[in-house]
Amino acid sequence: MKKVLFIDGCFRKEQSRTARLSRAFFSALKGYEAERIDLDALPISPLGRKEMEERNVLTAAEEYGHTMFDIAKQFAASDMVVIAAPFWDMGIPAKLKTYFEHVSVSGIAFDGETCEGKCRAERMIFLTTRGLEIEEGSEQEQATPYLKALCRFFGIGEFMSVSAFGLDVIPPEKCESRLRRAEEEAISLAKSLEANE
Ligand SMILES: Cc1cc2nc3c(=O)[nH]c(=O)nc-3n(C[C@H](O)[C@H](O)[C@H](O)COP(=O)(O)O)c2cc1C
């Protein structure tokens, strides 16, 4: 069965509106075995000099047995990647950025010589909600361009997203209807992806 890696960055858990989109998506996804990463609980820190140097020594020697590479190996071996995370400070939450620092390993996520992507996933799906009236394509929306660039770098062919926005500045009824519409979009997307294995 194909494997989907679910990177769950819905830090507000039950209160999270983004989590509603991921629940809708996974309720309709068939034919995939899901592995979930709870970003909030993941014990990772941003890379500093010491960590970089330690990692560089190992990648230069092509020694990938250390547990520091587990995150990158898991990501690179997935058939699909689904990220659910709220829009923070015009982009993605820092913990998600930190996660990608741990994924982006030469020799695992990309080829150190050619810089070609080595990840197996055919697509990345990004589920998100935004507080302000910021649409995808706006220069204020820096999460999508960043994730698209990562897909290209890692060799992931397709990027798709479902979002609801304006949720902190519109009346509650409108907020609910936007969320419902996004849930329906997430369900349609999941149904369209049914794995045939
Ligand atoms: C730390 C933080 C930073 C945020 N930054 C932005 C922002 O830059 N732009 C925006 O539109 N909303 C911003 N918001 C609002 C969230 O995007 C919005 O409330 C979202 O729906 C939260 O998702 P959740 O319910 O899944 O936690 C921010 C919220 C928090 C807590």
Stretches where the chain sits below pLDDT 50 are none
Cβ neighbourhood burial of 125 (10 Å; 0-12, 13-18, 19+): buried
The residue with tokens 């080595």 is 118
Query: Helix 17-28 crosses helix 172-192 at what angle (to 10 degrees)?
Result: 30
pLDDT of residue 188: 98
Residue among 10, 15, 89 whose CB has most ligand 1 atoms within 8 A, to mutate:
89
The residues spanned by each domain of the chain are 2-192
b/e code 57-96 from CB counts within 10 Å (16+ = b): ebbeeeeeeeebbebbeebbebbbbbbbbbbbeebbbebb
C-alpha 151/C-alpha 192 separation (Å) is 20
**Ligand 1 atom nearest to CA at 129:** 21
Taking only the tens place, the pLDDT of each residue in 54-99 is: 999 999 999 999 999 999 999 999 999 999 999 999 999 999 999 9
pLDDT of residue 105: 98
CATH topology of domain 2-192: Rossmann fold (3.40.50)
pLDDT of residue 194: 81
In angstroms, what is the span from residue 140 Cα to ligand 1's centroid?
13
